[in-house]
Amino acid sequence: MSDAFPAGSGPGATANPQDEQERTAVELRCAYPGCTRPPAAPRPGVGRRPRYCEQVVAGTMHSRQNARTARLALQAAGTPGEDVAAGEPVTMARAQASLLLERLEQVVADQAQLLTQTLDQVRVMGDPSAMQAELASVTTSARAEAEQARAEAAAADRARLAAETARAAAEADRADADDAVAEAEQVRAVAEAEAEVARTAAAAASATAEQAEARYRETVSDLHESRQQVERLEQDLAAALSRAELGEQAAVTQQARAEAAETDRDRLAGELTAATARGDREAERAELAEAAAEHLRQHIEAQAAELAETRAAARAEAAAATARIDTLTTDLRAARTDLDTAHTRTAQLAAELAESRAKASAAAAAAETEQVRLAGELTAAQVAAAAQHTADTATITDLRHQVDDTRAQAAAVTADLAGLRAELTAAQAALTAAQDHATARITDLVAARDQATEQLQQLRHELADLRKHSSDDKTHKPTQGRRRDREDPQ
């Protein structure tokens, strides 16, 4: 028995613990190439434990089919990965055929979609109504731009007319201001002339008043001298009367003297009478002179008052004329400023008007050119559309035939794919049955291994006992012989 099952070999040999750990670690890891995640949790009551994590990583779910695809891709790229079983060519061919069929279905769907989009664009290109709508839109836009340019030109014309009206009003205001300035200058000249006449009359009146005052002073001086002379004569008369009275006292002795005094008295009385008459005349002359001087003074005062009033009126008129001149000068300056502004604005508006007219002309010319071009393009497009429509009709017919052929091929490929999928399903079922059978076989082999292991252990114990007994026999042969006889009487 020991010869049939040597130690460490055969069905009942004991497994290496390291190999057991590695196998357990592999079973506890996702079987997708390069994945280190644990497998998905087992589903209760459904088959055996899953081998893949069934998670989506980088857009790919880790499943058995995707794992085979990844292994094929690694093998095609020459990248080292998990070994592909050399004994599964049919399985690998079916997996690759499934992938190729899926790609073919996608390519056919993409071609059908591309063909549909191409046909739609060709229909739009050859649609005369769309071309006419586009031409109408462009024409409407050009007309709107031309209308806008005309409106801007009309607005510029109105602004120019307003500026010209403002300039005419400013020129009229300037003419009025010039007339007012001339009138003010004339009024000022008249006022200055009247003031000069008033000053001349005042100077003459002053000279006349001075002459009258000199005559008045001279008359007063003559009157004063006449009064002094009358006073002296009265004093002489008083002295003569005194002497006459003294001569009467010496009547006798001084008769001659009395007579002489009488004679002197008569003479002095005559002189006094003459002096009194002259004094009266001088007094009358003085009164007349005083009256004349008073009249002259009143006339001088009246002329002076009139002169003052004339001067005040002249000054007021001159001040008013000066103020009016200043006002008119200010108005004139403002009118000139407004006129300059109006000129500037008129020039600006004229430039804007010219620019607007140029833009309007350019826009109109461009619109006409664009309209002519679009009309030509429409005609050419219509001709080309007709030709293109004919060619597109033929192309569409060809494309439809191609689509029909492609669809027929796709139907055939789909039928083949269905057959391949049925075969694949059957192969997968057979593979599953084979895997189940292999699992059962592995279970039986494991049981047999365990039984062989137990037998091997038993044989090892027996062998150890035999070796021990053999050694004891060599050392204590007689004793061991007797013991053996007692223990094993047979």
Query: Given a cut of 70, is residue 135 above it in pLDDT?
Result: yes
174, 312: one domain: yes
Residue-wise pLDDT for 349-364, tens only, equals 777 767 767 776 776 6
Domain end, chosen from 49, 68, 87, is at 68
429 belongs to a structural domain:
no
Q: So what's the pLDDT on residue 333?
A: 73
Q: Which pair of structure tokens corresponds to residue 428?
A: 């997968």
Return the axis-axis angle of helices 255-475 and 477-487, rounded to nearest 10°.
90
User: Which residue has tokens 């390519």?
Assistant: 107
Closest CA to 82 of 116, 34, 18, 144: 34
Distances (CA, A) of 272 to 129, 230, 245, 259, 282: 152, 8, 19, 19, 14
Report the range of poorest mean pLDDT among 158-172, 179-193, 240-254.
240-254
DSSP state of 9: -
297 alpha carbon, distance to own chain's centre: 89
Q: So what's the pLDDT on residue 407?
A: 64
47, 156: one domain: no
For residue 57, what are the β-bridge partners? 60
Beta strands in 106-208 (DSSP E): none
Quickly list DSSP for 342-373.
HHHHHHHHHHHHHHHHHHHHHHHHHHHHHHHH
102 belongs to a structural domain:
no
Q: What is the pTM of this model?
A: 0.29
Report the range of poorest mean pLDDT among 9-13, 49-53, 351-355, 450-454.
9-13
55, 161: one domain: no
Domain end, chosen from 310, 342, 367, is at 367
Q: So what's the pLDDT on residue 263?
A: 73
Cβ(332)–Cβ(174) below 8 Å: yes
Who's near 8: CB < 8 A, 6+ residues apart? 14
Q: Which pair of structure tokens corresponds to residue 165?
A: 């009206």
More confident residue, 35 or 84: 35
Cβ(363)–Cβ(144) below 8 Å: no
Rounded-to-10 torsion of CA 58, 62, 65, 67:
80
Band (pLDDT 50/70/90 cuts) for residue 11 is: very low
Question: How many whole angstroms separate alpha carbon 264 and alpha carbon 311?
Answer: 65
139 belongs to a structural domain:
no
Q: What is the mean pLDDT of the chain?
A: 70
Residue-wise pLDDT for 28-42, tens only, equals 778 888 888 888 887
155, 286: one domain: yes
Band (pLDDT 50/70/90 cuts) for residue 4 is: very low
3-state class of 60 per DSSP? strand
Backbone angles phi, psi at 93, to 5 degrees: -65, -40
Query: Given a cut of 70, is residue 482 above it in pLDDT?
Result: no
**In the predicted model, what is the mean pLDDT of residues 224-248?**
68
Reported as type and span, the H/E element at residue 458 is helix 255-475
Q: So what's the pLDDT on residue 389?
A: 65
Reported as type and span, the H/E element at residue 57 is strand 56-57
More confident residue, 488 or 196: 196
User: Which residue has tokens 């462009």?
Assistant: 138
Query: Given a cut of 50, is residue 9 above it in pLDDT?
Result: no
**In the predicted model, what is the mean pLDDT of residues 125-133?**
75
Q: So what's the pLDDT on residue 254?
A: 55
Band (pLDDT 50/70/90 cuts) for residue 81 is: very low
Residue-wise pLDDT for 244-277, tens only, equals 566 556 555 556 655 666 676 677 667 667 767 7
Reported as type and span, the H/E element at residue 22 is helix 17-27
Query: Given a cut of 70, is residue 94 above it in pLDDT?
Result: no
Amino acid at 1: M
Q: So what's the pLDDT on residue 419?
A: 67
Q: So what's the pLDDT on residue 371?
A: 67
192, 61: one domain: no
- Which residue segment(s) compose the domain that 347 sits in? 149-367
Question: How many whole angstroms separate alpha carbon 36 and alpha carbon 460?
Answer: 41
Residue-wise pLDDT for 70-79, tens only, equals 888 877 765 4
CATH number of the domain that 243 lies in?
Answer: 1.10.287
Amino acid at 119: L
Cβ(385)–Cβ(126) below 8 Å: yes
3-state class of 219 per DSSP? helix
182, 43: one domain: no
Q: So what's the pLDDT on residue 490?
A: 45
Q: So what's the pLDDT on residue 84?
A: 45
Of 49-53, 138-142, 232-236, give the range with the top mean pLDDT: 49-53
Query: Given a cut of 80, is residue 210 above it in pLDDT?
Result: no
Distances (CA, A) of 171 to 185, 331, 358: 21, 12, 31
Q: So what's the pLDDT on residue 460?
A: 72
Instruction: Write down how long the chain is.
Output: 490
205, 318: one domain: yes
Of 38-42, 46-50, 234-238, 442-446, give the range with the top mean pLDDT: 38-42
Closest CA to 29 of 62, 74, 68, 75: 62
414 belongs to a structural domain:
no
97 belongs to a structural domain:
no
**In the predicted model, what is the mean pLDDT of residues 193-202?**
73
What's the structural domain count of the chain?
Answer: 2
- Tell which phi-psi region holds residue 26, choosing left (phi > 0), alpha (psi between -120 and 50) or beta: alpha
Q: Which pair of structure tokens corresponds to residue 253?
A: 């002795």
285 belongs to a structural domain:
yes
Q: So what's the pLDDT on residue 23?
A: 52
Quickly list DSSP for 268-333.
HHHHHHHHHHHHHHHHHHHHHHHHHHHHHHHHHHHHHHHHHHHHHHHHHHHHHHHHHHHHHHHHHH
64, 155: one domain: no
HSE, CB side, 13 Å, CA atoms: give it for residue 179.
6
Domain end, chosen from 68, 91, 107, is at 68
Query: Given a cut of 60, is residue 153 above it in pLDDT?
Result: yes
Question: How many whole angstroms separate alpha carbon 183 and alpha carbon 187?
Answer: 6
Question: How many whole angstroms separate alpha carbon 237 and alpha carbon 240?
Answer: 5
92 belongs to a structural domain:
no
Closest CA to 39 of 440, 444, 47: 47
61, 153: one domain: no
56 belongs to a structural domain:
yes
Cβ(234)–Cβ(199) below 8 Å: no
**In the predicted model, what is the mean pLDDT of residues 212-220?**
70
207, 339: one domain: yes
335, 225: one domain: yes
Of 2-6, 118-122, 212-216, 374-378, give the range with the top mean pLDDT: 118-122
In the chain, the percentage of residues whose pLDDT exceeds 90 is 0
**In the predicted model, what is the mean pLDDT of residues 37-55?**
79
Q: So what's the pLDDT on residue 300?
A: 66
Report the range of poorest mean pLDDT among 4-18, 48-62, 311-325.
4-18
Residue-wise pLDDT for 414-435, tens only, equals 666 666 667 666 766 766 676 6
59, 160: one domain: no
Return the axis-axis angle of helices 255-475 and 89-125, rounded to nearest 10°.
150
